[in-house]
């Protein structure tokens, strides 16, 4: 059995920042990462980040991952293990993991759950044909593994993931035939939409997929227009010859471990699904478990990094190892988060976060 002061689950933007913040306190930190490489989604983000300098704005995602990993590698009290999937949380405080195929038990004093999110799927005729992918999967194939997954692609979803992956498909030389978006407005940043449009890619709002066709794998995708009750309108069908359909219809927080640990959970559509109740320090209903990043509610990587720092600081405080300036640092995190969430997309997220907020325990001290 491994004993550690802090277990951080997930080495994406939130987990890495949590480990950096908690690692600075001198406590033993163990980060377990399911993938064979750390960095989470950052390693495939070839675009420049939004936000401000504090969240590495105008730096490309994979460069941000390197910056965070350099900080971690300089800390002898932080240990990161890849190919390590946390399997379960038990109510006596024990956690188990599959580490390179071996079973391991872990007894941490505190936990930061930064497990990220899962791509949502959509049920439509032909959705199980080879060639129908989550957009994030296509991004991983292209940008992380250097595999060209498509020749002719249709994108479903004009949120930031749909728009960014469409642009990156174009950069890889793929013909992007159309971006369909169920709602009447483009959900992602309009600058991303404009980048695609001026490359000649149509963005079709109030459209969705009717069906995907193919014998062995995807050969054609039929889109159709939606009425204001989200019902397909017969006669509006458009069919594209395509070998790839990317589904980018949102993410769900990966919260199974929090359920198992016994955290109080709530379904919040604006945050992508079931999320744990948490206070302003990102502490869940269980005093030793903290949450950060998409597992706390689906947002951008910029806010995931700030949440990670906040959760790491809160965990250090819980372990009686708070830095002298913890109050200023936490307030700085809170004001960065407030700024990141104050824009057009942030309003809905802020309203969702308010539902899941534990109000009575605003201060840990």
Partner 1 sequence: MLEQTGIPEASDINGVFPSDERLAKGPVAVIECFQRIPCNPCSTACRRGAIEAFDDINDLPKVNHEKCNGCSLCVSRCPGLAIMVVDMTYAEDKALLKLPYEFAPLPEEGSSVTALNRAGEAVGEALVVKVQNTPALDKTPLVSIAVAKDLARTVRNFRVTDDTSAESPGILRGDEAPSPMVCRCNDLDLDNIRDLMKKGFTSIDEIKRVSRLGMGPCQGRNCIPLVLGELSRFLGKPVSELDPGTYRPVVKSVSLGAVAEYDGEALTE
| Interactions with partner 1, residue window 4-43 (CB under 8 A) | none
Q: Which residue in 8, 203, 246, 356 binds partner 1 (CB under 8 A)? A: 203
Min dist. Cβ of residue 233 to partner 1 (A) = 14
Please say which residue, 197 or 327, places its beta carbon nearer to partner 1.
197
Please say which residue, 107 or 362, places its beta carbon nearer to partner 1.
107
Is there binding between residue 220 and partner 1 (CB under 8 A)?
Answer: yes
| Interactions with partner 1, residue window 291-330 (CB under 8 A) | 302
Q: What strands lie across the sheet with 220-225, from one edge to the other?
A: 207-213, 220-225, 238-241
Is there binding between residue 146 and partner 1 (CB under 8 A)?
Answer: no
The region of 67-75, 135-143, 187-195, 320-328 touching partner 1 under the rule CB under 8 A is 187-195
In angstroms, the first-to-last Cα distance of the chain is 31
Please say which residue, 101 or 145, places its beta carbon nearer to partner 1.
101
Please say which residue, 213 or 288, places its beta carbon nearer to partner 1.
213
User: In terms of Cα–Cα distance, which of 239, 170, 164 is closest to 201?
Assistant: 170
Place of tokens 């030793």: 288
Q: Which residue in 87, 137, 270, 364 binds partner 1 (CB under 8 A)? A: 87
Min dist. Cβ of residue 58 to partner 1 (A) = 4
| Interactions with partner 1, residue window 239-298 (CB under 8 A) | 239-241, 252, 254, 256-257, 259-260, 266-269, 273-274
The secondary element (H helix, E strand) that includes residue 251 is strand 251-253
The region of 116-124, 289-297, 314-322, 356-364 touching partner 1 under the rule CB under 8 A is 116-124
Min dist. Cβ of residue 103 to partner 1 (A) = 4
Min dist. Cβ of residue 271 to partner 1 (A) = 12
Min dist. Cβ of residue 256 to partner 1 (A) = 4
Task: Say if CB 277 and CB 297 are below 8 A apart.
Answer: no
User: In terms of Cα–Cα distance, which of 24, 23, 30, 35 is closest to 9?
Assistant: 30
Is there binding between residue 205 and partner 1 (CB under 8 A)?
Answer: yes
Q: Which residue in 339, 350, 358, 364 binds partner 1 (CB under 8 A)? A: 339
Please say which residue, 235 or 360, places its beta carbon nearer to partner 1.
235
* 56 Rama class: left (phi>0) / alpha (psi -120 to 50) / beta: left
Provide the 10 A C-beta neighbour count for residue 347: 12
Both structure tokens of 71: 């900080």
Is there binding between residue 343 and partner 1 (CB under 8 A)?
Answer: yes
Distance CA 129, CA 168 (A): 23
Apex 185 CA angle, 181 and 189, nearest 5: 90
Look at strands 203-205 and 265-268 and give their pairing: unpaired
Is there binding between residue 118 and partner 1 (CB under 8 A)?
Answer: yes
User: In terms of Cα–Cα distance, which of 13, 26, 15, 14 is closest to 319?
Assistant: 26
Min dist. Cβ of residue 120 to partner 1 (A) = 6
Is there binding between residue 195 and partner 1 (CB under 8 A)?
Answer: yes
Strand, helix or coil for residue 284: coil
User: In terms of Cα–Cα distance, which of 32, 109, 86 is closest to 287?
Assistant: 109
Total residues at interface with partner 1 (CB under 8 A): 92
Task: Say if CB 356 and CB 255 are below 8 A apart.
Answer: no
Show the site string, 49-78: x = touches partner 1 by CB under 8 A, - = not.
xxxxx---xx-x------------------
User: In terms of Cα–Cα distance, which of 316, 332, 305 is closest to 365?
Assistant: 316
């Amino acid at each position: 059995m491994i004993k550690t002061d802090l277990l951080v689950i997930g080495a994406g933007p939130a987990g890495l920042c949590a480990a950096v913040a908690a690692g600075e306190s001198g406590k033993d930190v163990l980060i377990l990462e399911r993938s064979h490489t750390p960095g989470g989604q950052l390693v495939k983000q070839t675009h420049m980040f939004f936000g401000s300098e504090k969240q590495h704005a105008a730096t490309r995602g994979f460069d941000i991952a390197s910056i965070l990993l350099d900080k971690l590698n300089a800390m002898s009290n932080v240990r990161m293990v890849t190919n390590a999937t946390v399997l379960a949380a038990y109510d006596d405080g024990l956690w188990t993991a599959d580490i390179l195929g071996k079973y391991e038990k872990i007894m941490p004093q505190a936990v930061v759950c930064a497990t990220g999110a899962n791509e949502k799927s959509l049920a439509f005729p032909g959705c199980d044909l080879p060639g129908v992918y989550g957009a994030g999967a296509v991004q991983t194939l292209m940008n992380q593994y250097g595999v060209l997954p498509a020749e002719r692609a249709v994108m479903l979803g004009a949120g930031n993931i749909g728009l960014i992956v469409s642009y990156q498909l174009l950069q890889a030389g793929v013909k992007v035939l159309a971006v369909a978006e169920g709602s009447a407005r483009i959900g992602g940043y309009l600058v991303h939409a404009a980048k695609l449009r001026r490359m000649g890619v149509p963005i079709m709002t109030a459209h969705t997929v009717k069906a995907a066709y193919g014998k062995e794998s995807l050969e054609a995708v039929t889109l159709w227009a939606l009425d204001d009750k989200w019902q397909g309108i017969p006669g509006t069908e458009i069919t594209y010859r395509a070998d790839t359909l990317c589904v980018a219809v949102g993410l769900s927080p990966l919260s199974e471990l929090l359920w198992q640990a016994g955290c109080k959970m709530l379904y919040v559509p604006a945050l992508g699904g079931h999320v744990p109740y948490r206070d302003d320090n990102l502490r869940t209903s269980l005093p030793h478990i903290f949450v950060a990043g998409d597992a706390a509610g689906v947002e951008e990587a910029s806010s995931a990094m700030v949440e990670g720092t906040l959760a790491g600081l809160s965990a250090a405080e819980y372990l009686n190892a708070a830095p002298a300036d913890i109050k200023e640092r936490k307030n700085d995190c809170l004001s960065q988060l407030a700024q990141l969430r104050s824009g057009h997309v942030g309003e809905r997220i802020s309203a969702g976060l308010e539902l899941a907020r534990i109000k009575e325990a605003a201060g840990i001290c």
